[in-house]
Structure 1
């Protein structure tokens, strides 16, 4: 049997030129391998995320000084200890959050506050997303979508990096001011820039914004710089739901770890959002909420795990 650590991360399901039957396009570019499906004229691209080993969580220094009270200290302690994680199987992942166009093609309705087809769908709960996944998998045979586990999400977000952001460290100059986020994420410091919808959130009183604006909200997906594996909006725009709940970190190595998945369990969300403070838009930051919770900050992207 091949060891997990000896897997060649360059191998992928398209290596022999055999795309899945549902693929409407596929290929390779400077970010790696991609495949896409099309449903009712809406095309969604997925990126290949190779198996491998990464360090999950943050170093103590990264969260030092971020907490303002004891409750927040507990929140940031959830990122420690940093530990080795092995993702034993490669998987496909939407290269953007799920758009309103794709949601509407599957669900025939759009619950989003900031309505436009190319913006991420929001105001959807974890339970809602399970219905979406069931329906899209029924319409496209062998598509096999799911939500990524929290470990899969962080592996994909980091894309081989170990810093607070996948572009490097983060310097937080104020609650909503971290210049390193500007090129890669829509967050509380810049989500009002070029925001054109009338129903924008009043952000005129938000403290220390990098780019002060009277109205803020989500933005069309894929407008900021992607990470090294070609994934857009992994940080900012909308929080992204994961398949599992909050796992207590241990210092030992974990293989394909999962948090609680029982019915009704709280689920983890990752990545920060358009209204999030700079400190929440980091690769290691994690929050949790009930499976029925919704908000204009909350969205998702789907994964497709490669069969053994």
Structure 2
């Protein structure tokens, strides 16, 4: 029987969930690992907090839809430490739509309709730890991990840190960099300060919000417009520019559509 850690070690009152295989605290924070049919996925606890969402007017490659806002997240949440790997997708769905194959490579070419089915099937397999997509605010909060620079690694990135379309075309003051032309394993490159891998590049990550313009109001637990035609996609992919991998960069996708670098990172918690 799993022993519940002392209060203060694990944030939720009902931690750990019955499906927890292991849990603990390390240099990056609190984690727990869930197993479904012998396929494991680790989740990191993101505590409630306040941060500046969006980018300053001086940030290179800034988009007009990156208005800065002071955001408060009043509730903590669990976030997978990696984009969903193909092994986890396959064990839940029984299929694998990804072009670049490998159990520990991220699943890609998945639509929002596919994700709805994935979360429904997951709930049957693991009813005590339901999953969902993170909101756009949760996504950026966890991507930044306390940083305020364009990337969680600092002002610039290189292909030893991020899998993206590197080179002088996108970073004119940087030397040419290797372009891999495909995804890499979900833990092949360094994690951010909260222990979350590849928040920049590799695959674009879907968020739950409908895409819409932001304003500069201070918001608490924002979840985006009530309706829309496109969904928010964040993080940039292996075939995108450095500017598209920034913490504040926003893009959008057709809920029924797919592309070869579209993946996701599941979240848990209310």
1:98 alignment partner, one of 84, 87, 91:
84
Q: Partner of 2:235 in structure 1?
A: 271
How many residues were matched structurally?
261
Query: Which contiguous aligned blocks of 4+ residues in structure 1 show a shift greater than 6 angstroms?
Result: 205-209
1:113 aligns with 2:102: no
Cα-Cα RMSD: 2.3
Gaps of 5+ in 1: 1-9, 68-75, 171-179, 191-204
Q: Structure 2-normalised TM-score?
A: 0.90
Contact 2:159 2:177 in 1 (8 A): no
Q: Structure 1-normalised TM-score?
A: 0.79
2:158 alignment partner, one of 147, 156, 181:
181
> What are the within-5 Å matches in structure 2 for residues 37-56 of structure 1?
37-56=34-53
Q: Partner of 2:73 in structure 1?
A: 87
CA distance in structure 1 between the aligned counterparts of 2:170 and 2:50, rounded to whole angstroms: 39
> What are the within-5 Å matches in structure 2 for residues 137-216 of structure 1?
137-170=123-156, 180-189=157-166, 210-212=176-178, 216=181
Q: Partner of 1:246 in structure 2?
A: 211
Q: Partner of 1:220 in structure 2?
A: 185
Gaps of 5+ in 2: 1-6
Specify whether residues 206 and 185 from structure 1 end up closer, same or farther in structure 2 by C-alpha distance, changes over 3 A only.
closer
CA distance in structure 2 between the aligned counterparts of 1:259 and 1:295, rounded to whole angstroms: 23
2:261 alignment partner, one of 297, 300, 306:
297
CA distance in structure 2 between the aligned counterparts of 1:11 and 1:249, rounded to whole angstroms: 36
Contact 1:269 1:287 in 2 (8 A): yes
Q: Partner of 2:25 in structure 1?
A: 28
Specify whether residues 162 and 11 from structure 1 end up closer, same or farther in structure 2 by C-alpha distance, changes over 3 A only.
farther
CA distance in structure 2 between the aligned counterparts of 1:106 and 1:292, rounded to whole angstroms: 20
Specify whether residues 207 and 217 from structure 1 end up closer, same or farther in structure 2 by C-alpha distance, changes over 3 A only.
farther
The structure with the larger Rg is: 1
How many Å apart are 1:17 and its aligned residue? 9.3
* Post-superposition CA distance 1:205-227 (Å, at most 9, x none): 999883345x6100001111111
CA distance in structure 2 between the aligned counterparts of 1:303 and 1:117, rounded to whole angstroms: 20
CA distance in structure 2 between the aligned counterparts of 1:266 and 1:187, rounded to whole angstroms: 24
Which has a greater percent of helix?
1
* Post-superposition CA distance 1:54-108 (Å, at most 9, x none): 0000000004xx38xxxxxxxx10112x110001100000000000000000000
How many Å apart are 1:266 and its aligned residue? 1.2
How many Å apart are 1:247 and its aligned residue? 3.6
1:78 alignment partner, one of 37, 62, 65:
65
Q: SS at 2:252's partner residue?
A: strand
